[in-house]
């Protein structure tokens, strides 16, 4: 069946998610990660140089993943893994898609300079190694993913710190709306970089705890920082009409997507967080929703003292009295802070939460901070048929992004199907 591209997109045609691929410290595919997050399983552990981690890092949430070819940067290998799953999930190679109009939007990456890539001679191609020159640019990952899967539409690559994945997803949605493409692969990946690890260590923002699994504790009175993590998530996005023509399954609809700048401080946000409040209000306005419509917010929730309080205040300011009945959680408590990949992995979790009607928990939240006075779902997740959810990302440099999703009525829950079959 051929899918004919529309050069003049209908602005009323919904943008929907038809494929999700994901890998993180708790699982190597979408459903295994989601099952672990549902169950409050932490991927945080003690690490050291023997695990390929920087010497300054004692606690992290790494992904143990063998690259598909020697010499491939881990951050790119993780992106390829998630992209392959997303494209297979969306069945894009079985429905006559025009790959000349297939966008690839993927966040920029570091070049792992701590491992000696710069100044090294190119590896011998005859030995199967990848030439470092093909991977050292910030947009190399985006290019390699697009080339691998034959995506010849626009290539979009942003570096916006912890909001990078969200910004590229927003950009992919805009590219579809502008008629530059019919369909897009969008997301981000992250492998722990020695330079970032050293910087965060010097800033004293990395969490410490005698039990590594309890180190990440967003919104808890005993929180003392975040845990670095690894992973990737990629999405297939397209208009509903395009998805229907090729009989694709739909997870959720993207009904609101906004980005703003907080001109306050390079690594912090205003304690009252007026910019975050504005972002949430603008996202809800674009989505034509009221605060009472939102059932779940996946917070940025780093676990630092200042961020969690400021984020709470921003959410309360935007949501008003509806904040008392809105479920909020931070999955960084289990997956760690994935930096560039944080937004995309957490958006994937948000979409699956909508699909299954289950809000994941904030683990380690044993003593909630009175200043973080939201329902942050301590320890155990909750079932509920909420129809709308929001993902928020807050980044160094002042970038903030939010995406509002609507649950698709016909979304198929693989997790639910597995549970029914087991019963």
**162 tagged catalytic:** yes
pTM exceeds 0.85 for this model: yes
Q: In Å, how far are 4, 13, 79 from 241, measured between CA atoms?
A: 11, 7, 28
Phi then psi dihedrals of residue 111, to 5 deg: -100, 10
pLDDT at position 415 is 41
Residue 421 in any domain: the answer is: no
* Among 245, 273, 292, residue at a domain's last position: 245
Angle among Cα 407, 354, 294 to the nearest 5 degrees reads 75
Is residue 311 domain-resident?
Answer: yes
Question: 344 and 203 share a domain?
Answer: no
Residues 178 and 322 grouped into a single domain? no
Tokens 């205040």 appear where? 313
71 and 172, same domain (yes or no) = yes
Q: What residue numbers bound the domain in which 381 lies?
A: 256-408
Residue 260 and residue 216 in one domain: no
Q: How many domains does the chain have?
A: 2
pLDDT at 256: 96
Same domain, 269 and 217: no
Residue 4 covered by a domain: no
Q: Examine the residue annotation and report whether 337 is marked as an active-site residue of this protein.
A: yes
Asked if residue 152 and residue 272 are part of one domain, the reply reads no
273 and 209, same structural domain?
no
Is position 306 within any domain?
Answer: yes
Q: What is the pLDDT of residue 302?
A: 94
277 and 199 within one domain: no
Instruction: Classify residue 123: in a domain, yes or no.
Output: no
pLDDT for residue 310: 94
Q: Considering 212, 245, 278, which residue would you say is the last residue of a domain?
A: 245
Cβ-contact 59, 208 below 8 angstroms: yes
Boundary of a domain, candidates 245, 270, 287: 245
Q: Are residues 144 and 275 located together in one domain of the fold?
A: no
User: Looking at the structure, do residues 286 and 382 belong to the same domain, yes or no?
Assistant: yes
| Pick from 83, 412, 9: nearest CA to 250 | 412
Q: Is 300 a catalytic residue?
A: yes
- Do 153 and 232 lie in one domain? The reply is yes
Is residue 416 a part of any domain in this protein?
no
Are residues 307 and 263 located together in one domain of the fold?
Answer: yes
Asked if residue 323 belongs to a domain, the reply is: yes
Q: Which residues pair with 228 in a beta bridge?
A: 60, 337
State the catalytic residue, choosing from 81, 209, 242, 300: 300
Q: Looking at the DSSP assignment, which residues form a beta bridge with residue 186?
A: 105, 235
Adjacent-strand bridge partners of 235: 20, 186
List phi, psi (to 5°) of 10.
-85, 120
The rounded distance, in Å, linking the Cα atoms of 240 and 224 is 44
Residues recorded for the chain: 423
The pLDDT of residue 115 is 45
Tell me, what's the pLDDT at 419? 38
Show pLDDT as tens, one digit a residue, over the chain (423 residues): 445 545 566 778 999 999 999 999 999 999 999 999 999 999 999 999 988 888 889 999 999 987 777 778 899 999 999 999 999 999 998 878 999 999 999 988 876 554 444 434 445 555 555 566 677 777 888 999 999 999 999 999 888 778 899 999 999 999 999 999 999 999 999 999 888 888 888 888 899 999 999 999 999 999 999 999 999 999 999 999 999 999 999 999 999 999 998 877 666 677 678 999 999 999 999 999 999 999 999 999 999 999 999 999 999 999 999 999 999 999 999 999 999 999 999 999 999 999 999 999 999 999 999 999 999 999 999 998 899 999 999 987 778 999 999 999 877 654 444 333 333
CATH number of the domain enclosing 98: 3.40.47.10
Model pLDDT, residue 119 = 39
Between β-strands 228-229 and 358-359, what pairing exists: parallel, antiparallel or unpaired? unpaired
Q: Which residue out of 162, 181, 372, 376 is catalytically annotated?
A: 162
Q: Which entry of 337, 372, 376, 388 is annotated as an active-site residue?
A: 337
């Amino acid at each position: 069946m051929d899918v004919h591209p529309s050069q003049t997109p209908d602005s009323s045609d919904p943008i929907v998610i038809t494929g999700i691929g994901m890998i993180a410290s708790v699982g190597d595919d979408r459903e295994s990660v989601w099952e672990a997050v549902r169950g409050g399983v932490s991927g945080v552990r003690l690490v050291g140089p023997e695990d390929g981690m920087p010497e300054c890092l004692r606690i992290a949430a790494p992904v143990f993943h063998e690259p598909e070819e020697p010499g491939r940067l881990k951050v790119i290998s993780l992106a390829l893994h998630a992209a392959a799953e997303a494209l297979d999930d969306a069945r894009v190679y079985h429905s006559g898609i025009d790959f000349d109009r297939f966008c690839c939007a993927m966040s920029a990456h570091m070049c792992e300079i701590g491992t000696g890539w710069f100044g090294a001679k190119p590896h011998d191609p005859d030995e199967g190694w990848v030439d470092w020159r093909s991977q050292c640019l910030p947009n190399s990952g985006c290019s390699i993913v697009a080339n691998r899967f034959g995506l010849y539409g626009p290539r979009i690559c942003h570096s916006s710190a912890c909001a990078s994945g969200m910004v590229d997803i927003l950009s992919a949605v805009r590219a579809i709306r502008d008629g530059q493409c019919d369909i897009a692969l969008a997301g981000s990946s992250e492998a722990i970089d020695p330079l970032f690890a050293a910087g965060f260590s010097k800033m004293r923002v990395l969490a410490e705890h005698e039990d590594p699994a309890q180190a990440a504790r967003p919104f808890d009175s005993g929180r003392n920082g975040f845990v670095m993590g690894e992973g990737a998530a990629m999405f297939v996005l397209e208009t509903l009409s395009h998805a229907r023509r090729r009989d694709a399954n739909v997870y959720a609809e993207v009904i609101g997507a906004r980005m703003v700048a907080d001109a306050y401080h390079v690594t912090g946000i205003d304690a009252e967080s007026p910019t975050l409040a504005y972002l949430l209000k603008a996202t809800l306005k674009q989505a034509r929703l009221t605060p009472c419509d939102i059932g779940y917010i996946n917070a940025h929730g780093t676990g630092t003292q200042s961020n969690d309080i400021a984020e709470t205040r921003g959410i309360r300011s935007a949501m008003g009295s509806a904040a008392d009945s809105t479920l909020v959680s931070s999955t960084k408590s289990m997956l760690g802070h994935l930096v560039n990949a944080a937004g995309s992995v957490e958006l994937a979790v948000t979409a699956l939460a909508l699909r299954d009607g289950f809000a994941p928990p904030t683990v380690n939240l044993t003593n909630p901070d009175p200043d973080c006075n939201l329902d942050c779902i301590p320890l155990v997740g909750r079932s509920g048929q909420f129809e709308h959810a929001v993902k928020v990302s807050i980044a160094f440099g002042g970038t903030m992004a939010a995406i509002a999703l609507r649950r698709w009525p016909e979304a198929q829950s693989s997790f639910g199907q597995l549970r029914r079959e087991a019963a």
